[in-house]
Amino acid sequence: MPHAIDLTGYGSTYLTKLAQESIVPARQINGVWYFETSILLAHVQGWVTTREASELTDYTIQHIRWLARQGLVRAHKIHGEWLIQRASLLAYCARRGRLSEAGHRVAQDISGDKG
């Protein structure tokens, strides 16, 4: 995990939470969490896993994957994991009125609109 801390600037507690809650795929070996560097960096740079994308919207993980495959949201597949660009997903869902409460909060944070 020291490499992940240096790479992201995140603390070990937050990185552990990301791993334990499967927000960012990781493996634990002998009590140490190991992250795929490209996926962890993508998370830091505004890309989310399908699980996170599902929590931000009213869509299932399967539908998020479909959106990615159809090119309806900006996405990349890295080591078998779809990563969705958060801003692209929020824009797509806002046009369709499909943001969850969490999605609305994130969209407000991004736009700076607190109202």
Whether 109 shows a pLDDT value over 80: the answer reads no
Side-chain-side CA neighbours of residue 47 (13 Å) = 20
Q: For 13-65, how does the pLDDT look when each residue is reduced to its tens digit (9 = 90+)?
A: 999 998 998 888 899 999 999 998 888 888 888 888 898 899 888 889 999 99
Q: Residue 18: CB partners within 8 Å, gap ≥ 6?
A: 10, 24, 26, 43
Q: What pLDDT, on a 0 to 100 scale, did the predictor assign at position 72?
A: 94
Is there a single domain that holds both residue 36 and residue 72?
A: no
Q: Are residues 67 and 111 in the same domain?
A: yes
Same-domain pairing of 115 and 60:
yes
Containing domain of residue 4, as a range?
Answer: 1-45
Looking at the DSSP assignment, which residues form a beta bridge with residue 99?
57
Q: Are residues 67 and 92 in the same domain?
A: yes
Same domain, 69 and 104: yes
In this predicted structure, the answer to whether residue 115 has a pLDDT above a threshold of 90 is: no
Query: Quick one: 36 and 50 in the same domain?
Result: no
* Max CA distance (Å), the chain: 47
Do 94 and 54 share a structural domain?
A: yes
Q: Encoding tokens for residue 32?
A: 């140490």
Same domain flag for 39 and 50:
no
Q: What total number of domains does the chain contain? A: 2
Whether residues 20 and 64 share a domain: the answer is no
Q: Is the pTM of this model over 0.85?
A: no
Q: What's residue 61's pLDDT?
A: 95
